[in-house]
Amino acid sequence: MTINLNHSYASGDVSDIINKKIDQALTKKNRETAPREYLGASILGNPCSRQIQWNYEQVEKDEGKGFSGQTLRIFEAGHSFEDMAIGWIREAGIDLKTEKEGGAQFGFSVAQGKIAGHIDGVILDGPSEWQYPMLWECKSANQKKFNEFRNNGLESTNQTYAAQVAIYQAYMNLENPALFTVVNKNTCELYHEVIPFNNELAQRISDKAANILSAVQSSTLMPRVANNSDYYFCRWCDFYERCWNEEG
């Protein structure tokens, strides 16, 4: 008699079991991570001031909303692409610094620590036609979004990222043109764009942050980004139910 010791598992079942455990672990870790107690430069370009305010105030999100395990995996993958880009740029002979002595990130903090941000890096030397020091910011994108960056440029493709760059340039006193790098997640193609300092944008976003902090202090609510609940940005918002059905 032959005993079959090979257990049969459907590949789909195995994936479901393992991925569920991974996502549960990632979401648990994310919930236990201390939330930011400041307005981060990375979100100030978000078009909805009310959403920014509620995130800052740590208002509870709608049931079932928040970062999924898959989204958290995408974030981690983005960090890996950034690390690779750092290595490639350095190998090209460009003097890119990403940490202070001791390992801390470069960053800024203003308004008694209520507005802050951390940059990806500073370039101190490289091509002769550039001005130094220059801010370096890196993102990763799928093929479709990568093509948008390459064909249309940063400002037209993602205003949140454009605002982030401008704020960093302003508060870090890096008003020389910045280098914005995008890594294609599908092909590892690289897109680089030199971004002149947009003082008007930086001032507008800084004023926006001040207005949000003022609203928090006075317990008033910032306006929505739209007057219609069907607006695309609202439909994807973690506070959709609270904003449109509870707040009225």
Spatial neighbors of 119 by CB under 8 A, at least 6 apart, are 105, 106, 107, 135, 136, 137, 168, 172
Q: Quick one: pLDDT at residue 152?
A: 98
Q: Is 100 a domain residue?
A: yes
Q: Is 230 a domain residue?
A: no
Q: Which residue is associated with the tokens 């880009």?
A: 85
Give how far Cα 176 sits from Cα of 95, 115, 133, 169, 244, Å.
16, 22, 7, 8, 42
What is the side-by-side strand order in the sheet with 115-118?
39-40, 115-118, 107-110
133 upstream amide cis, omega within 30 of 0: yes
Q: Is 169 a domain residue?
A: yes
Q: Quick one: pLDDT at residue 246?
A: 67
> How many angstroms from the chain centroid is the CA of residue 103?
21
CA angle 150, 155, 160 (to 5 degrees): 115
CA-based nearest residue to 166, from 198, 194, 135:
198
Q: Is 71 a domain residue?
A: no
Spatial neighbors of 195 by CB under 8 A, at least 6 apart, are 154, 162, 165, 177, 178, 179, 180
Q: Is 179 a domain residue?
A: yes
Contact 247, 237 (CB under 8 A): no
**What are the per-10-residue average pLDDT scores of the chain (248 residues)?**
61 80 83 80 95 94 82 84 96 96 91 96 96 98 97 97 98 97 97 98 97 97 94 92 80
Q: Is 187 a domain residue?
A: yes
Q: Is 88 a domain residue?
A: yes
Q: How many domains does the chain have?
A: 1
Domain containing 215: what range?
77-219
CATH number at residue 204: 3.90.320.10
Q: Is 121 a domain residue?
A: yes
Give how far Cα 133 sits from Cα of 92, 106, 169, 181, Å.
17, 13, 11, 16
